[in-house]
């Protein structure tokens, strides 16, 4: 028996909206959450463009003592998961809890707790907090979500840099298709706007000096953001039996590795990944296809991804519409694919394609329709969400209208 996977809910914590409704509104209006900011730990500080999540402290306090002691990466994951569960109308009884998976990744884990523990040891000569290990482990977000809701199905983290969330979505879908769960929470969280992490990123010399400009000739790097995106995935008959609203169908997933380089992306690897995701998807109208690009705003990624999209869609590539929402919310690293998958699903729902803002100088090497600077109203039937990570790890998810 075929077990189809559908989306029945989602939750977002992002620099352009700390809930799904705000996120949707900001996407449609091309709002930018990237700004010059100072990230510090006591007397150590660094000033860079970044995309911070604001106005969630009261919501974190309301989560209770255990989560108040957790790292920010887990707190944001729980907030996003709580919204996704409420959006899906899920209620967990003993049977449902045992059949619900929780696959929530993170590229790095509890970076803020790492910073604090090393600062305390090296600058203040005192031992780390006794909960440091529980705060920093990459599976902490998945663990906190599963504990909070009493979930007893498969639960773990995937850490594959910027592909973590999309890998989590695809693997969770496979768990449901394989019969080990009927419901799954899938996505990722990231909280690396810390002094130590940003010094390390700055040393790579790939951070933008002002803002993120994907596909624009004058782009000069990426802007780091923080946040979490979690989807509720569900076996289709299970969703129908409980009267859930089916928002989208997850009809394709591809993943592979370049096998070439830690930093330089491979056009062939990215194209093969997208082709794998689309192998069982019928495309009648390329103009009704939206690609949420990885679109980092770096010199290497943008033309490479453009060529990979052309290789994947052939003559239909000129009819597609593509955008990089990283131009608004920044690069959420491991969590990027979570909120970008949600942006893709929202595009199916609303027919509003989010723009690539800050695209003010066309690049001859980036020659697709990137919805420059303003949202585009268009009927979209298929949405592809790309994630291409350091280490040559690629993942792509395909969503269709129900």
Q: What confidence score (pLDDT) does residue 24 get?
A: 98
- Residue (of 334, 342, 246) closest to 17 by Cα position: 342
Mean pLDDT for 304-311 is 98
Q: How far apart are the first and last CA of the chain?
A: 19
> pLDDT per residue over 221-256, tens digit each?
999 999 999 999 999 999 999 999 999 999 999 999
Query: What is the per-residue pLDDT across 341-384, written as a single tens digit (0 to 9) for each?
Result: 999 999 999 999 999 999 999 999 999 999 999 999 999 999 99
Question: What is the CB neighbour count within 10 angstroms for residue 236?
Answer: 19
Q: Residue 299: pLDDT band by 50, 70, 90 thresholds?
A: very high
What is the average pLDDT across 55-65?
97
Residue 187 token pair: 């996505």
Query: Residue 94 — left, alpha, or beta (φ > 0 → left; ψ -120 to 50 → alpha)?
Result: alpha
How does residue 294 score in pLDDT terms, banded at 50, 70 and 90?
very high
Q: Across all residues in the chain, what is the average pLDDT?
A: 98
User: According to the CATH classification, is domain 5-241 in 3.40.47.10?
Assistant: yes
CA–CA distance, 265 with 275 (Å, rounded to integer): 17
Q: Structure tokens of 86?
A: 């409420």
Pairing of strands 289-292, 321-323: parallel
What tokens were used for 399?
Answer: 């969503």
pLDDT of 2 reads 82
Q: Out of 149, 167, 238, 294, which one is annotated catalytic?
A: 294
pLDDT at 237: 98
pLDDT at 1 over 80: no
For residue range 149-196, what is the model confidence (pLDDT) as tens digits? 999 999 999 999 999 999 999 999 999 999 999 999 999 999 999 999
Query: What is the average per-residue pLDDT within 40-62?
Result: 97
Q: Exposed, middle or buried: residue 217 (CB in 10 Å: 0-12, 13-18, 19+)?
A: middle
**Selected catalytic residue, list 26, 32, 162, 172:** 162
Q: What is the mean pLDDT of residues 63-90?
A: 98
Distance CA 240, CA 136 (A): 38
Q: What pairs with residue 360 in β-bridges?
A: none
Q: Which CATH class is domain 253-400?
A: alpha beta
294 is catalytic: yes
Report, as an integer, the average pLDDT of 2-31: 98
Q: What is the rounded (10 degree) CA torsion for 46, 48, 50, 55?
A: 50
CA atoms within 13 A on the CB side of 192: 25
pLDDT at position 244 is: 98
Question: What does the pLDDT read at residue 93?
Answer: 96
Query: Do 253-400 and 5-241 fall under one CATH topology?
Result: yes
pLDDT of residue 152: 98
Structure tokens at 188: 């990722």
Domain range summary for the chain, segments of one domain joined by +: 5-241, 253-400
Q: Is the predicted pLDDT of residue 112 greater than 80, yes or no?
A: yes
For residues 222 and 296, the answer to whether their CB atoms sit within 8 Å is: yes
3-state secondary structure string, the chain?
CCCCEEEEEEEEEECCECCHHHHHHHHHCCCCCCEEEEEEECCEEEEEEEECCCCCHHHHHCCCHHHHCCCHHHHHHHHHHHHHHHHHCCCCCHHHHHCEEEEEECCCCCHHHHHHHHHHHHHCCCCCCCCHHHHHCCCHHHHHHHHHHCCCCCEECCCECECHHHHHHHHHHHHHHCCCCCEEEEEEEECCCCHHHHHHHHHCCCECCCCCCCCECCCCCECEECEEEEEEEEEHHHHHHCCCCCCEEEEEEEEEECCCCCCCCCHHHHHHHHHHHHCCCCCCCHHHEEEECCCCCCCCHHHHHHHHHHHHHHHHHHHCEEECCHHHHCECHHHHHHHHHHHHHHHHHHCEECCECCCCCECCCCCCCCCECCCEECCCCEEEEEEEECCCEEEEEEEECC
| Angle in degrees, CA 110, 114, 119, rounded to 5 | 150
263: pLDDT strictly greater than 80: yes
């Amino acid at each position: 028996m075929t077990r189809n996977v559908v989306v029945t809910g989602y939750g977002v914590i992002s620099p352009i909206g700390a809930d799904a409704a705000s996120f949707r509104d900001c996407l449609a209006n091309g709002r930018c959450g990237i700004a010059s900011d100072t990230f510090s730990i006591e007397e150590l500080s660094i000033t860079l463009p970044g995309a911070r999540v604001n106005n969630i402290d009261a919501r974190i306090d309301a989560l209770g003592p255990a989560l108040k002691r957790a790292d920010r990466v887990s707190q944001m994951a729980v907030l996003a998961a709580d919204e996704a569960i409420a959006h899906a109308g899920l209620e967990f009884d003993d049977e449902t809890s045992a059949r619900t998976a929780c696959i929530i990744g993170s590229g790095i884990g509890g970076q803020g707790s790492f910073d604090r523990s090393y600062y305390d040891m090296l600058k203040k000569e005192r031992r780390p907090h006794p909960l440091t290990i529980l705060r920093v482990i990459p599976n902490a977000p998945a663990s906190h979500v599963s504990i909070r809701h009493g979930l007893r199905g498969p639960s773990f983290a995937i850490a594959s840099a910027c592909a973590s969330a999309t890998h989590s979505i695809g693997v969770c879908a496979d768990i449901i298709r394989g019969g080990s769960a009927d419901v799954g929470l899938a996505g990722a969280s990231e909280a690396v706007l810390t002094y130590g992490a940003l010094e390390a990123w700055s040393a790579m010399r790939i951070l933008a000096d002002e803002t993120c400009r994907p596909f624009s000739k004058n782009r000069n790097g990426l802007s780091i953001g923080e946040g979490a995106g979690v989807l509720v995935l569900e076996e289709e008959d299970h969703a129908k039996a409980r009267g859930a609203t089916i928002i989208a169908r997850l009809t394709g997933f591809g993943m592979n590795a370049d096998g070439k380089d830690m930093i330089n992306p491979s056009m062939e690897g990215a194209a093969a990944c997208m082709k794998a995701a689309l192998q069982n998807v019928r495309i009648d109208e390329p103009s009704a296809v939206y690609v949420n690009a990885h679109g980092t705003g770096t010199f290497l990624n943008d033309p490479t991804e453009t060529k990979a999209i052309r290789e994947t869609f052939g003559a239909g590539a000129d009819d597609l519409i593509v955008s990089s929402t990283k131009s608004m919310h920044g690069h959420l690293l491991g969590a990027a694919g979570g909120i970008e998958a949600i942006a893709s699903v929202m595009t199916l729902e609303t027919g509003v394609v989010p723009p690539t803002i800050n695209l003010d100088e066309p690049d001859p090497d980036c020659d697709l329709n990137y919805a420059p600077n303003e949202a585009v109203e268009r009927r979209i039937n298929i949405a592809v969400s790309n994630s291409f990570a350091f280490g040559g790890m690629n993942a792509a998810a395909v969503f269709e209208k129900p």
